[in-house]
Chain A
């Protein structure tokens, strides 16, 4: 009897070790977004590969993984990161460098992975995941009869009095300020970054946000988590808020909230996945990331959230399968930030600009905020 229980104990122990050590841990941004990743490609990939994939939330930035590395115990295998962080993390040697066409599967029609993705990657450690967008939204039930339509309306406190919800860091805010002061973004937003790389243009952009925040009819509430802007709007704490289009879509279509998005001067940005070097399970992480970013995988996540997949072949899968949204009646293509209706006026966020100038702009931005 005693022997048997001992044996059982050992077995349980061995099982628990093996099941945890073969699991792949992915750090992502939580909320509706992680949900879409988990259901869209996480679970299918896990099933196909026979490994379990765990999802943990974090709020962006590299500090946590740097701390894990410094402590000698890395617990994350894959991270979902901003473009700027793939550059910085790759520079610091935190992430695995990919051999792109070898590590990632080709499209169903045989196109090489590097050709199937829209553009090249900002660093050797990155693989594209989704295209999302910074837009702004308002609460239709509370805004009144006049509705905001353009990016200028976001700064117009005369016609639309009330507080605004904006991202806590300078990113996207200063680009939006430049676009709202009348600069046409130009191809991919290059006019905006031309303005911002001059001290005068940068100061003017920060001043414009400052003026909005100091305006007695305006005022700013700063958000950091992606779930916050829809929440602020629904509570009536702000009249308009910038945010990520998928989160607004989720509130609007998924939860039937009276939110409306404004696509004018939307800031398109790419989101990436990376494999952490020396993570608990690097080999399985490589398999999982390849499976998740396959054509079917990326198309799968678009079933749950309005973020556009990176691969051209994924878009084809969605088009064929419309209505693609999980409720079975919403067409996804027109909800995508890349749809022609939504890209009348847009800019692309420039990761190299932010990698280069982020610190200095951050200083000025924080100084402005501390004076509010």
Chain B
């Protein structure tokens, strides 16, 4: 067919095809210009910090650059017994340079992350090394403190030799790489992160489930009630949504505490004895209750917007064809709401998995999540590279959820409105 048709020309003699393409390209460029600000914004405030975090979590050049001679001397050391005089001498020379540049404090902080107890022995070495005599540095350094004669500490230094390392990621799942290069779990009384990952996933899952169970009927009412009532109901849903997160969490604290409103009421109606008031806060229960309430609108709104588009005549048709109310709901109505369920669940789950402030305030010890640990390392231990590593692991988790969802349901099926 196409071979028979003649090339169509525009009025100025250019083939129509070429002319169209030109216009299309110009349009595409215009469209790109329109989204360029957003793209740039994302690049600056979203992509680049993530790359920075990734870099931060593996970057270990500070220690590598601080002890260059030591690490060269250590290459020959097998890590079994104490290193040779050569290593000690190199360490002494490196260390003197650090003192001159006042960088020894930073080194001690970094080494202390690797193994506890470095802080004080480095400080002591700094004081004592001023009166060191030339030669036989091994004896002299070992005399400063017994820990300098402990091979564990030298192994710890050697572990920090590579300029980039993934050890923080291992730490994030309670593992480390031992001298022979094997991955092993840390001692039992120090395992914490795996437990927290599991708890975070569990709480996020249940919060999503509770949100779904509560939001579905609400959304259905919103979509089917006459405008007069549904508007009122909508305000009830939106009002808490507009209230500050902190205010809502604080109100939950007033409601849930042992001398709080709910307990007082239960005692008053005689359901609970005064000395056996329910513990609903500073534990997992508190986290569940507060997070479910706070995240509920994120489930209601997508569900509502999808239900609004379902024509009531479909259900009527199902009924008139002989379906019971349940069958029509299950076979006709429910499948049509799946895009809304998907959108809502994904939203709630992803928000819940990284929740910080609510668990911090009402969660106590048993209701805290992985993000609270990230904050702990940001704020108190100041091990920012570890915090970055955990942050990225969390992000990867979210992306994995997204991927699984896409495989199972398909991201095109999501509908927010």
Contact between A370 and B106 (Cβ–Cβ < 8 Å)? no
Residue of A nearest to B120 (CB): A356
> Interface code A37-70, partner B: CB below 8 Å = 1, 0 otherwise?
0000000000000000000000001110010000
Within 8 A of B (CB), among A245-271: none
Please, which residue of chain A has its CB at the minimum distance from the CB of B107? A91
Contacts of B217 in A (CB 8 A): none
CB <8 Å contact, B373 and A88? no
- Output the nearest chain A residue to B102 by Cβ-Cβ distance: A93
* Size of the chain A interface, CB-CB below 8 angstroms: 37
Known: A63-B378, A88-B382, A236-B259. A355 touches B119 (CB 8 A): yes
| Chain A residues within an 8 Å CB radius of B368 | 369-370
Known: A63-B380, A356-B120, A367-B190. A93 touches B366 (CB 8 A): no
Chain A residue contacts of B383, Cβ below 8 A: 359
How many residue pairs bridge A and B at CB < 8 Å?
89
A360–B114 Cα gap in the complex (Å)? Answer: 10
Min CB distance A147 to B, Å, is 19
Is A103's CB within 8 Å of the partner chain B? Answer: no
Q: B5-13, B191-199, B401-409: which one contacts chain A?
A: B191-199
The CA-CA distance from A300 to B279 in the complex, in Å, is 43
List residues of B (166-215) whose CB comes within 8 Å of A's CBs.
Answer: 189-192, 195-196, 199
Per a CB cutoff under 8 Å, which of B102, B109, B116 touches A88? B109
Is B334 part of the binding interface, using a Cβ–Cβ cutoff of 8 Å?
no
Which single residue of chain B is at the shortest CB-CB distance from A232?
B257
Partner of B106, one of A92, A219, A359, A372: A92
B191 touches A91 (CB 8 A): no
Give the shortest distance, in Å, between A285 (CB) and chain B (any CB). 21
Q: How far is the CA of A93 from the CA of B384 in the complex (A)?
A: 17
Query: Complex: how many Å from CA A63 to CA B380?
Result: 7
A interface, by DSSP: helix, strand, loop or mixed? helix
Decide yes or no whether A276 CB sits under 8 A from chain B.
Answer: no
Chain B residue nearest in CB terms to A61: B379
CB pair B376 A366 closer than 8 Å: yes
Q: Does A330 contact B (CB under 8 A)?
A: no
Contacting A at CB under 8 A, from B365-395, are 365-366, 368, 373, 376, 378-384
Residues of A within 8 A of B105 (CB): 90-93
Which residues of B have CB within 8 Å of A364?
189-190
- B 107-136 contacts with A by CB, 8 A: 108-109, 112-113, 116-120
B68 within 8 A of A: no
Find the A residue at minimum CB distance from B275: A161
* Cβ–Cβ contact B364 & A366, under 8 A: no
Asked if B258 is at the interface of the complex by the 8 Å CB criterion, the answer is yes
Task: Output the nearest chain B residue to A142 by Cβ-Cβ distance.
Answer: B259
Q: Please measure, in the bound complex, the distance between the C-alpha atom of A8 and the C-alpha atom of B32, giving whole angstroms.
A: 46
Whether B91 sits at the interface, judged by CB under 8 Å, is no
List of B residues within 8 angstroms of A169 by Cβ: 380
Of residues 81 through 102 on chain A, the ones whose CB sits less than 8 Å from some CB of chain B are 87-88, 90-93
Q: Which residue of the partner chain A has the closest CB to B174?
A: A367
Q: Are B117 and A367 in contact (CB under 8 A)?
A: no
Interface centre among B108, B199, B282 (most CB of A within 10 A): B282
Does A358 interact with chain B (Cβ within 8 Å)? yes
Q: A61-B380, A221-B364, A364-B190 are in contact. Are A237 and B259 (CB under 8 A)?
A: yes
Contact A237-B106, Cβ < 8 Å, known A220-B365, A221-B364, A357-B116: no
- CB–CB B120/A221 < 8 A: no
Given A91-B109, A93-B102, A222-B365, A236:B117 Cβ within 8 A: no
A319-372 at interface with B (beta carbon < 8 Å): 352, 355-360, 362-364, 366-372
Counting CB contacts under 8 A, is A213 at the interface? yes
Q: A220-B365, A221-B282 are in contact. Are A370 and B196 (CB under 8 A)?
A: yes
Other-chain contact of A357, B117, B282, B366 (Cβ < 8 Å): B117
Asked if A359 meets B365 with Cβ closer than 8 Å, knowing A91-B109, A366-B373, A367-B192, the reply is: no
A351 CB to nearest B CB, Å: 11
Are the CB atoms of A366 and B380 closer together than 8 Å?
A: no
Say how far B283's CB is from chain A's closest CB, in angstroms. 9
Q: How far is the CA of A203 from the CA of B189 in the complex (A)?
A: 9
Complex formed: what's the CA distance from A368 to B187 in Å? 13
| A367-B383 Cα distance, complex, nearest whole Å | 17
Q: Which residues from A are CB-within-8-Å of B189?
A: 203, 364, 367-368
Q: Closest 4 CB pairs between A and B?
A: A91-B105, A360-B116, A367-B192, A372-B365
* 13 pairs from A and B in contact (CB 8 Å cutoff): A61-B380, A61-B382, A63-B379, A91-B105, A91-B106, A220-B364, A221-B282, A222-B364, A359-B381, A364-B190, A366-B373, A372-B364, A372-B365
Apart from A63-B378, A92-B105, A366-B376: 5 A-B pairs, beta carbons within 8 A: A63-B380, A237-B257, A358-B381, A367-B191, A371-B195
Report B's interface with A, CB cutoff 8 A: 102, 104-106, 108-109, 112-113, 116-120, 189-192, 195-196, 199, 257-259, 279, 282, 364-366, 368, 373, 376, 378-384
Residues of A within 8 A of B (CB): 61-63, 66, 87-88, 90-93, 169, 203, 213, 219-222, 235-237, 352, 355-360, 362-364, 366-372
